[in-house]
Amino acid sequence: MRSKISHILFFIVLFASLVTSALASNDNPVFSEDEVKYRVKNMPLFFPPQYDAVVGSYLRTYFERDRTKAERIIGNTALYFPIFEKYLREQNMPMDLRMLPILESALNPHATSRSNAVGLWQFIQPTADGYGLANNPFVDERKDPHRSTQAALRFLRKLHERYGDWALALAAYNGGPTRVNNAIKRAKSRDFWKVRKYLPKETRNYIPAFIAATYLYNYYEHHGIAPASHAVGMQMHDHVRIFDEISFQQISEITGVPNYDIEFLNPSYKKRIIPKSYSGNYLVLPAWACQLMKNHLPQVQTVSGPTIDPEFLQQPNYMRTNYTVRPGDDIFKVASVFNCHPFNIKYWNNLKTDKINVGQDLNVYMVTYRKKPSFRRSAQPVNLPQKKKRVPVKVIPLLATKIRPVSAFHNSDFTAKGGSSKFKFYTLKHGESLLSLVEKFDRFTLTELLTVNDLKIDAYLAQGARVKLPN
């Protein structure tokens, strides 16, 4: 009897296992090697990509063996690709280089290798010293997204000038110029694919790993990867330079940003303190909080003298809407209108390049504020405000609102500055905003309301302000 029960239980467990496996396989798109090969062959890259068993192995790790890692990587592009793209544009270097930290650190600024390489770009200390990255009891700039990116691009530019080939430059970034030089001599070629067999295994596989990382970024949605996204406010970040010592607690009290968010966005500071620096240290915060810090910086940076009385904003909410691309628009203009990074526009719309087309509808987020408390002017440095209770970020789906989407409009009654010759005035009541007026009257768009009042998208108007209403 016991034997029969054991057999029955065995088959039940086996059947459950098979069902679970089948369901799992249905959840994940099948990895079609022929399709992947075709995409790799036609994938835009700054050197001719090739597909081989090593590339396939890396891709299977992303799409089959460790999908959670792939989702985390794509989610983290929203935090770090805006920074990478900023400096790549400034240096006029290939945008594809932003993929390198995916294989170096999986976009984790705290990543540490067996050889004690640290940070997004995986600097060992001697190389970091050579490129001016500080490491002391207060800060490890190998973990600083801005400092480390600047140093890495200087290093990569130097390697490219040396080899005249990006594949060899990337191999030298990983294995060092000496190993690459020796391999070039033995191969009697400067073609990476011919040099490759003379390189150490890790460096030999480095370009296939780079190809796989580029494929992951370009085609993750074809494999059912859903990015583990961060809050919109964290994605729409900016930075300020801090010269005097200040703690994360003080920054939190000034801006209302929680300590753990400040720590997450600023991984290089070891003791939650930004030390004094004559050249300035980077402080990364949500963009709206950076403005508060800029208002407050004279008080932080000077011990005596006149002070500026900042008008503090509470943490904002974010509303999702859409924008229709108009003639003359490019991704940089749209990003400027919505006070975000160009990469944010790409991330929210799953765009792989900076190209946008007239008539294209873009998903975007707008910042809305609740109120603007005032502070009394003082000739002496003001005391820091008490830390406020964190207000959760609320993302309102477009379809869940009555607010009409931001879009292009054509009306001869409107001009860029003067608005309409026919309009009524409305006095804002307590708690009302431009967005609430659009919802209340439901006869004009937010774009029209902003245009006739000559206001920006993130404008704040206090109670009692008079607003022109389009007819």
How far apart CA 72 and CA 66 sit, in angstroms, is: 10
Residue 85 is among the residues annotated as catalytic for this protein? no
* C-alpha 74: how far from chain center: 10
Pull the structure tokens for residue 396.
């309102």
How far apart CA 11 and CA 26 sit, in angstroms, is: 22
| DSSP reduced 3-state for 445 | coil
* C-alpha 209: how far from chain center: 22
**CA of 165: how far to CAs of 47, 48, 50, 102, in Å?**
8, 11, 16, 21
Strands 246-247 and 273-274: antiparallel
Q: ∠ CA 377-380-381 to the nearest 5 degrees?
A: 90
**Active site residue: 71, 104, 141, 448, which one?**
104
Q: Give 382-424 as a DSSP string.
A: PPPPPPPPPPPP-EE-GGGS-PPPP-----TT--TTT--SSEE
Contact by Cβ (8 Å): 106, 62: no
Counted residue by residue, the chain has a size of 471
Handedness of CA 125, 129, 131, 133 (dihedral sign): positive
How far apart CA 32 and CA 184 sit, in angstroms, is: 35
Contact by Cβ (8 Å): 155, 90: no
Pull the structure tokens for residue 372.
């603007």
Please report, to the nearest 10 degrees, the dihedral formed by the alpha carbons of residues 251, 252, 256, 258 taken in order.
140
For tokens 């054991």, the residue is: 6
Pull the structure tokens for residue 164.
């005249």
Contact by Cβ (8 Å): 387, 256: yes
Q: Which helix (H) or strand (E) holds 255?
A: helix 248-255
> Which are the catalytic amino acids?
104
